Structure 1
């Protein structure tokens, strides 16, 4: 599956071809540099490793500095492997947004969702809480309520939805339509929302 690495710029609204106002996300996709070409003979499978985003040399480990030097490029912040490019790519090639995507394409976007920290069952799972504030329920509005049988078996079953860490997970949103491609600014506008905070890295798969 071919694609590019990008950075989420933010959300806006966009008039579609039929005149409807739709919410969309602006992504800076590329330019990405080919930092490694994997072959079936040497690596056991075929893939292309792309690099995106500039990194400082002092913050880059020595092995990676040699890896980027071999590709003839500066250190990159994000490395991702892709498969299925139409044309063969060589080490050091640069891919721009217009090389991969076009208006009307359907893409999948992978990102890391916003971290919410430790949350209760109401926010994490959509529980309604215990209920009213009368009859001694003054401090139970957002509690999970009864969660386990009594004498038998006398414990809470595994897998019960309870409070815990929320967000900060890898999330893929599928079949987002490409509304517009702006090559001169390396921007791609997709319909709908994508996971992650502003300026976070995303992977756009075609």
Structure 2
């Protein structure tokens, strides 16, 4: 936990590869290039973003990544253990990708967009720790995703306003009351 700055980011990989080969294999998925040649660091080791990142890179990247492990066990958004099956069944090293993954504009937007609810939820909990004391993190995240959808529909674009509104809506014990409050107040009322 200390290495993860207090945030649980634990997963287990079953692989026939020795540790050095597995490390080299996974390292090939830590950077992508956007269509305009900018480099983007990928949070491949973060179990929360793993599927988003791999999906954004496309089917070829997923096939290549899965060739390095037999199973990847991680905690899903719902707080339950999930297993992602790989295709490595022998100790033969998978083909090494060229390390030049191209991230489409849609893929880039998917990665960035998937992190907004996390950022808003974490900011709310930092300002009001009681939110995390009353509600499980997976439930807070589910509620925050629903609130972000409301903000998008209401066309609230200011990051500061989005953060303020989400924090206030999360204070409600009943998630539906929080969403209703947000729908009524997303026009700028404090």
Please classify the TM superposition score into its range, dividing by the shorter chain length: under 0.3
Greater share of helix residues, 1 or 2? 2
Greater relative contact order (Cα < 8 A, sep 6+): 1
Task: Choose 1 or 2 for highest CA Rg.
Answer: 1
